[in-house]
Every structure is written in C-alpha cells, then in structure tokens.
Structure 1
Amino acid sequence: MTVQEHNPEPSNPLGIDGIEFIEYATARPMMLGALLEQMGFVATARHRSREVTLYRQGSMNVIVNADPAALPQSETDLQSTVISAIALRVRDADAAYRHAIHMGAWAIQTRAGVMELNIPGVHGVGDSILYFVDRVRDFSIYDVDFKPIPHVDPHPPALAGMHFFGVVQTIGRDRSPEWIDFYQQLMSFRPLPEGHFFGVLPKGILLESPCHSFYLQLVEPPEGAAGLQWEEQLVRVGIGAPDVLDAVRQLQQRGIVFIDREPAQSSEKGALTQLYKGGISFELVVSHPEKTA
C-alpha cells in the first residue's frame, strides 16, 4: 500500500485532508464511553498525564476529555457533554496555523504540558477549538501523548463502513453570512447551493470542506423560537455510511435508539439517534468515500 500525500492547492491553502479527531469534553466520561462503544468505537489508548481517552473505529478518532480544565465552566453546563474541538488533518500544521492567523483567526493559549505535543489551534464557535494536526505517513500525535491500552486492537475496523461525514453547528439568528465568511476566508470551505442537503434533516446551510471529504452544517434558530435556548456551538457529529439502513440495523442490535417518526424517520438517506443524556446525538448520512491506495 502506498501513502497518498495531498499537497496544498490554490483552492485549499491549508492543505486540509479530512477530520483527524473529534473531541468531547464531559464530566461523565464513563457514560459517554459506554455510548461510544455502543456506536462501535473501541477505547484504544489513554493520555499519559490527563483524564483523556482515545476511542477509534476505522478512520474515526474520538477523544473523550474529562480533564477539569476542559469542562464547561458554567454551572448549568456542569453535567452536559459538549463537542469541544475539531482537529483538521493538514499537510503542515504550522503553515496552516500561520495562514489562519494571517486571515484573522484568534490563536488559542497553548495547553501542552511536559512531554506533550503542542497542537496549534484557533478559536472556533463558542468555547470550541479548531486544531491543525500533521498526519504524515505512519506517525501521529497519538504516538506521543497516549499510551495504548494493552490487548486492544489499536485500529479496530469500522462498523458498517462508518466514517466522519461532518459536524452540525447552531448559530444565531441572521448570523449565517458571518459564519460562512469565517469558514470561507480562514479555511476555504465552500457553501453549497441553497436547498442542497444530505440526510434526513434539511436545515440551514451546508459548507463543503476544500478536500471534499466532510461538511459543516450551519443552523439558525427556527421561526417562532423566541423562548428557545439557542446557543452558538457544535451540537452533533454526522457519520457517513454506504448503507444507512444496514448501519441502523447493526447499531440497533447494539442498543442504539433511532428516532422513528417524521421528519427524521430512518431512510436510505439518513437517520438520527435519540438525544442521549448530556445532550448527545449522532446523525447517519449515506456516503461513499473515495478509496485511496
């Protein structure tokens, strides 16, 4: 097998090549870990110095961060689980970071401890972070910061061919132009034509990554939602599957509950899990990723 390297192009100045990991911050890591295992993920490694666990399946990496410094600071959010970071795989993390800062992004304060990698990142929506991670050949950040869990396959296969498809972000009323500009200017995401959607939840605006491998969905509050608590934040991970209904069947056998009523009823286009404790849900979307050799 050869490794295909993706060099930066004019339409992809940061050299983005997919999602490296999604990070959740939670005060209930055991509960979230159990849910991830139901979703087919396997705990493969633990951080060397913090209460952080790496879960994997196929090409997907999910980090569960229970370190007190990473948890939501609001008293009302102490029991919630939030998507605290998206790490973008890039050809050169330092170059991607410098480009984003040059285009107006706000740098985050480094959180690296002794003998830990300093992963460059910028502020995203709410309290979230957008990290830039080098992924060259066989080396990865996990080789430095994490210790493998003994007797566990470090690269468990994906259930039903599942893979990252995107992330849903809620935004404020009439804030779509600002967020489109943010992702377009900083990272060259491209808004899809109005009315172009995937899955079973046709809402908001879709932005396609410059590497064409994942999407961001921006959703404003619905009409007549004046009393609805609506914050700007990352709210849901979208997972692609070649055969959604087969993935739904396999996940249901593992105890995952899907919404079975319109308009989010499971179909060949997509499916939506129930809202689990802590505000967690997952969305399935039909997707056939390109195979690379």
Structure 2
Amino acid sequence: MPPSLPDREAIGAAPNPLGLDGIEFIEFATSKPQAFGQVLEMMGFRPVARHRSREVLLYRQGGMNFIVNAHGSGLPAAAQLPETPVISAIALRVRDAAAAYRRALERGAWGVPPRVEVMELHIPAIHGAGASRLYFVDRYKEFSIYDVDFTPIPGVEQQPPAVAGLHGFGVVQYIGPGRTDDWSEFYAELLGFSALPDEERFGILPTGRVLRSPDASFYLQLIEPQFDALEIDQDETLHRVAFGTPDVLGAVRELRARGIEFIEAGSVHTDARGALTRPYLGGMSFELVQHELPQ
C-alpha cells in the first residue's frame, strides 16, 4: 500500500479532513471586465497582476484575492462570459491539493477535466453549484500559484491594505427547492463543513442555512427559492460574496464616499449588523457583515 494512504485515512477522520485553511481566491467570469473592475476598485480592490496568457486579472485588498476572468475558452460551456459577473470558482487552501482532490472523488464529487496550457500550473478542481468549480490549492505561503501564472503589474503595490477592515467572510449560494440537506451533506462529506444552529445568524438577511468551514475561517449560506416571489429563479449558483468588517456603519460610510450605493428599502437596510450593496452590472451585489477578523 502506498505510504500516503494511511495518512489520508487518518486525515479523513479528523474534524478538518483536508487541512482547510481558508479561501485562496474567488473567481468571477464576465464579458465586461473593465466595468466590473471599476466596481471592485470602488470596493477597495486593486488590480495587481495579469495572467501570462489569458485575459485574466488578479485584484487584491488585504488578504483577499479576486480573479476576473474574461477568457471564455477557459470556462465551462454553461458559463461563457455573461455580462453580469458570476462567481465561477472558489479556490480552497488545503494541506495537500492532490490528496484533497482524490478524497473528494472517492466521496462522489465530479472532477473537472484540466484545461492547462503550456507553462501553466495545474490546479485540481471539482464541480460545485451550477457551472462553478471548487479548486484545491496547496501553494499559498512562500510560493504561490500567482508566481507561476501571473505577472505583477509594474508600479502597483502588490499588497494593498483593506478598506475599513474588510475581510473575507463567506459566500451565499442559491439552491433548488428542498435541496438544503443535500448541499449540507455535500459540504460536510467532502470538505468537513458543519451547520450552525438556527439561532446563530449574521448580517441583515438571516435566511436559509449557514455552514461553517472546519477551520472556522469562512461561511456558506444556503438559500432556497422564496415562494412569495412571482418569478422564482431555481438555478443553483454561487450568488454573492459577503465581507466581514468590525464596523459595518463605518465601512458603509467609507464605501459610499468611494461611490458604492447600498439598498435602503423595507426590510433590507443598513444597520450595525450588516448591509447590502445595490446590484451592479445587471445583478452582482456584495454584502457586509459585522465580524471581527480573528487574531
């Protein structure tokens, strides 16, 4: 038996089976990269690097990396460059990317065939919600994936500070009717996520089920269709990113000064718990949640 197998079995039984260590990047696909880039810059992100061979930009603030992909040939057929930016992938930091990928396949995940071009790094991935992908990354400390695939933009600060203490908090996922338990099991079995008690909520949109990553570094909120709406979008998608901030009201003031607009209507309005930006570019919005970044 190969020596890696006993380690994988022991790891699989641990509370954090993959050695999950947060999110390395969130990738967006859009045919309007410049327009979306302007929104990201208003949110405090800065473009810091370009992909060596594709129309892809890396945006960063604080410890968050966003990739904006306008290179259609590198995406699944179902996600070919929509005008409205969509979350096309999440890259998870893990102890061993190859072992994490194998373990996910053993537990029923569907692997994504590699689309690697010459001189590009292969990052293993499985299928997520809709046409999205979940990547496994184990190069994120002294040596990162960006060292291989990206070229820094000259004269640009590579580690721009976060605006108003913004940091990654989680992702909201829209799911099909009656699929909450299915998706909860998917994330628990493959990645080690656990559901929070119903009374433990964050932000101003306390609906659906909230899952916590095994390293407690980020959250997933699963939301089924709301049947009081006239038109129900039952597509399963990674819908929006939530940012944590220790001071929501202060962050809203600072982001408004940068040009970001927030929804202030009915039950959705800014308060100390959270806030929601207006939709940009046909439907992309961001959420703020009161949350202290762990020391």
**Do they fold alike, i.e. is TM over 0.5?**
yes
TM-score (norm 2): 0.92
Select which of 203, 220, 227 maps to 1:223.
227
Structure 1 residues 173 and 270: alpha-carbon distance in aligned structure 2, compared to 1, 3 A threshold: same
| Cα distance, 1:70–1:259 mapped onto 2, change above 3 Å | farther
Amino acid at match of 2:260: I
- The one-letter amino acid paired with 2:226 is P
| Mapping 1:73-152, distance limit 5 Å | 73=77, 78-152=82-156
Contact 1:176 1:218 in 2 (8 A): yes
Alpha-carbon distance in structure 2 between the residues aligned to 1:162 and 1:79? 26
**Structure 1: unaligned runs, 5 residues or longer:** 1-7
Tell me the distance in 1 between the aligned counterparts of 2:236 and 2:125.
Answer: 19
Residues 29, 82 of structure 2: 8 Å contact kept: no
Cα distance, 1:76 vs structure 2: 10
TM, length-normalised to structure 1: 0.93
| Residues 258 and 272, structure 1, Cα contact 8 Å, conserved in 2 | yes
Distance 1:147 1:277 in 2: 28
CA distance in 1, matches of 2:100, 2:80: 35
Q: Which moved more, 1:34-43 or 1:263-272?
A: 263-272
Deviation at 1:69, TM superposition (A): 2.0
Distance 1:115 1:134 in 2: 18
CA distance in 2, matches of 1:138, 1:106: 30
Aligned residue in 2 for 1:277: 281
- Among 6, 23, 29, the residue aligned to 1:25: 29
Report the Cα distance in structure 1 between the residues aligned to 2:79 and 2:110, rounded to whole angstroms.
26
Which amino acid is the alignment partner of residue 188 of structure 2?
Answer: Q
Aligned to 1:50: 54
Deviation readout 1:59-103 (Å, 9 max, x if unpaired): 000000000124575699742221000000111111111111111
- On the 8 A contact 1:38/1:256 being kept in 2, the answer is yes
Contact 2:78–2:131 (CA<8 Å) still a contact in 1?
A: no
Give yes or no for contact 1:169–1:217 (8 Å, CA) kept in 2.
yes
Distance in 1, Cα, partners of 2:255 & 2:263? 13
State the aligned residue count. 285
- SS of the residue corresponding to residue 16 of structure 1 reads coil
For the residue of structure 2 that corresponds to 1:46, the secondary structure is strand
Question: SS at 1:99's partner residue?
Answer: helix
1:151 partner letter = G
CA RMSD of aligned residues (A): 1.8
Identity of aligned residues (%): 56
Structure 2: gaps of 5 or more residues: 1-10
Which residue is 1:170 aligned to? Answer: 174
Q: What is the rounded CA distance, in whole Å, between the counterparts of 1:208 and 1:74 in structure 2?
A: 29
1:118 CA displacement: 0.2
Q: In structure 1, give the amino acid aligned to 2:239.
A: V
Cα displacement string for residues 6-65 of structure 1 (whole angstroms, at most 9, x for unaligned residues): xx6800111111011000000000011010000000000000000000000000000000
